[in-house]
Amino acid sequence: GQQLNQSPQSMFIQEGEDVSMNCTSSSIFNTWLWYKQDPGEGPVLLIALYKAGELTSNGRLTAQFGTTRKDSFLNISASIPSDVGIYFCAGQAGLRGAQKLVFGQGTRLTINP
């Protein structure tokens, strides 16, 4: 089955630093999504990417759909305490009408003030 490798698994940074994380897949995806999950809450959609090479920003967050369609990247600039949480990438493939999301294992972000 399809698998996503997300790295790094965890990050410990200082407030104000930039953050980069990525996901790679063994197969092609049509859509890449990035979510953030706080403890005990549901994942919240941050950015959606639909085209190879697409670069999309949402405030301090920027994500890219890799040109091979097998990878995606998320960058967070000037991190702040509320950025703490687990970030998941998710890839979507399959025939329209019968698609499912495959999730990466998550990147746990911890920020030291």
**Residue that has been written with the tokens 């949402």 in this structure:** 58
Using CB under 8 A as the binding criterion, the count of chain residues that bind other proteins stands at: 26
Positions 41 through 80 that interact with other proteins (CB under 8 A): 41-45, 48
φ, ψ of residue 82 to 5 degrees: the values are -75, -5
DSSP string, 40-59: TS--EEEEEE-STT-EEEET
Give the binding range for other proteins (CB under 8 A) out of 14-22, 32-40, 55-63, 77-85.
Answer: 32-40
List of residues contacting other proteins (CB under 8 A): 30-31, 33, 35, 40-45, 48, 88, 90, 92, 94, 96-106
